[in-house]
Structure 1
């Protein structure tokens, strides 16, 4: 197993002795008395997922059990390996190959009988053992596989999966929005920003401390102001008239819309020292609105508020 290559190199030749057919039988997997169904860190290997599982062995170790599910000795070993796979919690994936259902996969490992256990690391097969084995012996073999995997940089964890008969966990139902909030979002969906502004405004009138409505209103106003704006033209106008409050407000809006929060706030703050009373009030109002949009708890807002207070007072 030294210096394995990442490309799968499992060939399809050889045959599997099916003499286990004459041994004591076991119920099918998942039924009482049989091996557990595949779930957690145990998967059934099929023609469809075989190549992907081999490829996954470049990320985490894979242990393949070639078996006949209804043979008692095979079922006992599958039960043991499945329990250990869950105990090792993803340090390896156990893949179970039904040699009768998928003879081509079984032939790829050149097994002479079942049960046979083979590790796959970085696409390379590593025969482990055939036949029954005591738990301590199996643990020792698995530990050797994991040590070899670590030496070759295969240290990922296999993803667990729910059993086929398990219902997936239901997604929690989202809390319903307050009626006026829902009205505003519905209006935004149909691109009626004026109606959204009215709905959020009514929500704020009902509860002036409704921070979600305040932020929503600020977002709608930003969308209204930037609708149809040409970024290059707006920037060119602002560069040509650095003292023009309207031009700088327009650029700040587009910066905010593009996620450039620091640039937007800094642009308006830098205009305050030389602005007249009317311009200062317009800049203050826009900054306060942008503060609500970003969120009062954002550290960028706290810093900008300090600068605003310093420039105004």
Structure 2
């Protein structure tokens, strides 16, 4: 029997291609289920209906935990049904129960997944956007000052505060100012993709507070390749300093050496790095390497 449109079966062998890579273009909702699970039988048809109704706004991937025990163990699935949302190669949220349709829609909406709406002329607009000339690089310090002035002029406009927080972190500015701006955001902006990027950058800055300088970390890793703390901090330091590929190499090496170090810290650090780094080709390459290690 053919599966409904926008629904497919995921396996460990196809996970990288069908879930991780696909999620770079469209969100993928994973349902971990089992034939003997009663709530799974209630949830599955509702999810399939939503996949059809949303017209490709997300893809539904079904994982039979009995057939894919290795995959379920790698993703730490402890009960079924469990649902996870994958966006841009990252597990961003999930829940472990059968929810009614209304709550499922709310969950999707919370992460920006809405039913596909076809708009006349959209193709032409997309073509115009593609043909547009790239903008000149923006000076980070000048951008901070411009946004500070805009926030001062419109103090109730929360979107500008988020823009300012991101600009501060890109420019290596005050992490305390950025933290205060992010902490003051309303709930609808706190879960925005840009807010997640800012929080990841802020997390890197927090971890590097009081850390040894780069030269000392280089020396520690050279003297003892099993110094996981030094390798982790060196990877973060390199990424913050703009040497993204070198930083990712350190984090991948840490994942290969001990994926369970610091309660899964290598994987978490890589996911945060993927959020921070603004080079899609580089991120895609290292996502594939991370997946090959984990799965």
Query: Which protein has the bigger helix share?
Result: 2
Specify the structure having the higher radius of gyration (Cα): 1
**Which protein has greater RCO, CA pairs closer than 8 Å, 6+ apart?**
1
* TM-score band, normalised by shorter chain: 0.3 to 0.5
Give the TM-score normalised by structure 1: 0.38
